[in-house]
Structure 1
Amino acid sequence: MISGPELLIFFLQVLRISVPYVLTSVGAVFSERGGVINLALEGLLLAGAFGAAVGQHATGSALLGVLCGVACGLAVALLHALLTVSLKADQIVSGIALNILVMGGTRFGLSLLYGSSMNSERIDGFDASLVLLDPLFLFAVASVAAGHYVLFHTPYGLRLRSTGEHAAMVDAAGISVVRMRYSGVLISGVLAALAGVFLAYQQHSFTDNMSAGRGYIAIAAMIIGRWTPVGAALAGVMFAAAESLEMWLQTGFLPSQLVQSMPYIVTLFVLAGFVGRSRAPREVGVPYEKQGK
């Protein structure tokens, strides 16, 4: 029988684990609504975490660490947008290549700055003993509401969604398809980078490959959430609950290999049930060739 305090601890643990999933999946919604598949989310998470760890260690300021993390995420997102929107490279290939690039780059950065390819020096992060008081948790909650409002109740949101559905129509209306798609990718870069900052601040350091597949699970959350911020966030919380349950079951009678694979098993089963019923933006992943060329 689970006691009240244990249930509260589990609930708070789910909220803490859900922050990276929520931020990254909401960011993915903006990118794909504009027509760009963003498989570079893993790299964006790592870039944000690495930038935050280095930034706070160098300056002693958690806020400056956040800004450094966001700057690193924006740089990777800008490169992804340049390759896919301007140069019309394959979006899947670009995302995977950037993930590999950032993984190797952060490992090299660790060796260069700290003499270790595994982890950075310890950092303090935000001084918040309870996740509900963490500024990045509060920002994650706000990003869901703000993301829903921006996408479905503002002219910008209408233009972004139209770009992912019918880019030629947007172009004919005098709206720059390139700018809209860049903006969606850059927004996803900021949010995914903040997810990485949260990871680094929670673990009080940067460790090699600390994203641990969260970027890919965030894409699954976006699909399950039908390309909406609220739906993606709820799916992210579900995956966080599965991950938290995995931690609680590690001391039980189930084989450790089965327990550790639980979040990924949940992802596969839920995706299998939702993908066929979800409709992606019609022109997501399709490079746009301006009419008249």
Structure 2
Amino acid sequence: MSTSMSTTPDTPVTPSVEPAVATRPTAKPRWGIVAVYALGLALALLCLFSTAGGAETGFRLDSANTWLKLPDVTVPARTTVVGLTVVLAVVAAWVASRRGHAPAWLHALGGLAFILAMLVWAAADTDSVVPVVSLLAGALALSVPLIFGAMSGILCERSGVINIAIEGQLLFGAFAAAVVASLAANAWLGLLAAPVAGALVGALLVLFAVVFRVDQIIVGVVLNTLVLGLTGFLFSTILSQEKETWNSRQELPELPIPVLSQIPVIGPVLFNQTILVYLMYVLVALLHVMLFRSTWGLRTRAVGEHPKAADTVGVDVNRLRVQNVLLGGAVAGLGGAFFTIGAGLAFGRDMSAGNGFIALAAMILGRWSPKGAVVAALLFGFTKNLGNVLSSIGSPMPTDLLLMLPYLVTIVAVAGLVGRVRPPAAEGKAYVKGRG
């Protein structure tokens, strides 16, 4: 038998080498983001054409609690809107020409140019000035319960448990904080009661979702309805009839941080707050570090992605889920305290007003990351307070549109800026040891 092909040292066989060709497809610009920028540019141009020549806009940067008093700034409205529109157009063109994701600072620059153009247009030739410190401080205040709620959702859903009950946890935390603070005439005791109340709602979620393996979304909706009905009944009976005893106003004091609170503009906004806001700062930083830089965070993410693999290496899946859901409930309850003792208000029926569901949207918008969720919550809080400020300075925008503004911005951000997101793979799936 002879071979059909032979080789000798004089005629070595060299394998044919195909030229290297890039097989990875070329990244394309995300047209949803381009559409958002096109919409923003169209609105900026509309503001430009409707701004009267010679009009001026004033901005108030001063605050009574800073060591450096800044004068009001007045700018020519039309010229300023032209400049900001040009900046927005350049950013939009840059984003459209890029392949793949644009850097975050580029989006921040474009968003800032658009917001400033809207403010300059809205306050042009009015008797009012734009109160910058009040605008930012109010935005932060409206974001606080959203951030606590989003952190609660991250703790639960990173573990594989869907927490639709954030709304109920916020509401029950607000209720417990108000009642305990009223009975004890001490807002600090109310602050301690709020996370306990939120954890109680979390315990019911654990009982039905983890222990009895009931559908987690149904359990969350039922718990929201339960808390709404219970607090509404108690409000209309005991709290309303004996208001001074059960539902008097108690407020946490502001704790200005020396030196930092005296910084112009940002000092009064960030460093002249109650203990709740400072706890929020610590919670966000701690949760981000722990989730991505600790053994607990690795186990939590493993349980949310592949519980059977985590069980194989010795992680007690259901025990970790129970712990994280209880912790998440306590965090949401702490956020609920901001509605009452954090804002110096008595408890009111349904005073959480859907913030739990907005917190869920912020969590998804932030891609289940503490940093991203904070940015999303601040975006919603800012747009909501922006509507309030525009209404107070006599903006030509219709009142109904101002009320819709935060929800419109949230929808546009989710549809255009976020795109497709992927939740933890095991989210909403009960785990039975030995069956996966």
Q: Please classify the TM superposition score into its range, dividing by the shorter chain length.
A: over 0.9
Find 2:312's aligned residue among 151, 168, 172: 172
State whether structure 2 residue 390 is matched by structure 1 residue 249.
yes
Task: Classify the secondary structure of the residue corresponding to 1:169.
Answer: helix
Task: Classify the secondary structure of the residue corresponding to 1:126.
Answer: coil
The 3 A distance-change label for structure 1 pair 258 and 203 is farther
Question: C-alpha distance in 2, partners of 1:271/1:117?
Answer: 44
| Unpaired stretches in structure 2, ≥5 consecutive residues | 1-56, 63-130, 256-267
Question: C-alpha distance in 2, partners of 1:231/1:12?
Answer: 20
> Does the CA contact (< 8 Å) of 1:111 and 1:117 recur in 2?
no
TM-score (norm 1): 0.94
> Does the CA contact (< 8 Å) of 2:143 and 2:380 recur in 1?
yes
Partner of 1:269: 412
> Does the CA contact (< 8 Å) of 2:170 and 2:352 recur in 1?
yes
Question: C-alpha distance in 2, partners of 1:147/1:40?
Answer: 20
Shift of 1:240: 0.7
Partner of 1:259: 402
State whether structure 2 residue 292 is matched by structure 1 residue 152.
yes
Shift of 1:44: 0.3
The aligned amino acid for 1:109 is L
Number of aligned residues: 293
When structure 1 is superposed on structure 2, of 121-130 and 145-154 the one drifting more is: 121-130
Question: C-alpha distance in 2, partners of 1:13/1:7?
Answer: 10
Question: C-alpha distance in 2, partners of 1:47/1:13?
Answer: 23
Task: Classify the secondary structure of the residue corresponding to 2:318.
Answer: helix
Task: Select the structure with the greater relative contact order (CA < 8 A; seq sep ≥ 6).
Answer: 1
Question: C-alpha distance in 2, partners of 1:208/1:118?
Answer: 14
Find 2:163's aligned residue among 38, 41, 45: 38
The aligned amino acid for 1:257 is D
State whether structure 2 residue 338 is matched by structure 1 residue 198.
yes
Shift of 1:255: 2.2
Partner of 2:364: 223
> Does the CA contact (< 8 Å) of 2:186 and 2:250 recur in 1?
no
> Does the CA contact (< 8 Å) of 1:32 and 1:184 recur in 2?
no
Summarize deviations over 1:209-264 as a string: whole Å, max 9, x none.
Answer: 11111111111111111111111111111111011111112242222222112112
Shift of 1:176: 1.1
> Does the CA contact (< 8 Å) of 1:36 and 1:284 recur in 2?
yes
Question: C-alpha distance in 1, partners of 2:415/2:368?
Answer: 16
Summarize deviations over 1:74-96 as a string: whole Å, max 9, x none.
Answer: 10011011111111111111111
State whether structure 2 residue 270 is matched by structure 1 residue 127.
no
When structure 1 is superposed on structure 2, of 108-117 and 192-201 the one drifting more is: 108-117
> Does the CA contact (< 8 Å) of 2:178 and 2:249 recur in 1?
yes
Question: C-alpha distance in 1, partners of 2:251/2:277?
Answer: 13
Summarize deviations over 1:159-180 as a string: whole Å, max 9, x none.
Answer: 1110000001111122111111
Partner of 1:279: 422
Question: C-alpha distance in 1, partners of 2:292/2:249?
Answer: 39
The 3 A distance-change label for structure 1 pair 232 and 248 is same
The 3 A distance-change label for structure 1 pair 78 and 275 is farther
Task: Classify the secondary structure of the residue corresponding to 2:254.
Answer: coil
Task: Classify the secondary structure of the residue corresponding to 1:250.
Answer: helix
The aligned amino acid for 1:124 is Q
Question: C-alpha distance in 1, partners of 2:139/2:313?
Answer: 45
Structure having the higher helix fraction is 1
Task: Classify the secondary structure of the residue corresponding to 1:93.
Answer: helix
When structure 1 is superposed on structure 2, of 246-255 and 172-181 the one drifting more is: 246-255
When structure 1 is superposed on structure 2, of 153-162 and 122-131 the one drifting more is: 122-131
Summarize deviations over 1:4-28 as a string: whole Å, max 9, x none.
Answer: 2311121111121111111111121
Superposition RMSD on alpha carbons, in Å? 2.0
Question: C-alpha distance in 1, partners of 2:301/2:353?
Answer: 30
Question: C-alpha distance in 1, partners of 2:215/2:435?
Answer: 22
Question: C-alpha distance in 1, partners of 2:389/2:243?
Answer: 26
State whether structure 2 residue 336 is matched by structure 1 residue 212.
no
The 3 A distance-change label for structure 1 pair 231 and 89 is same
TM-score (norm 2): 0.64
Percent identity for Structure 1 against Structure 2: 36
> Does the CA contact (< 8 Å) of 1:118 and 1:208 recur in 2?
no
| Unpaired stretches in structure 1, ≥5 consecutive residues | none
Question: C-alpha distance in 1, partners of 2:143/2:175?
Answer: 20
The 3 A distance-change label for structure 1 pair 164 and 289 is same
Partner of 2:146: 21
Task: Classify the secondary structure of the residue corresponding to 1:39.
Answer: coil
The 3 A distance-change label for structure 1 pair 221 and 118 is farther
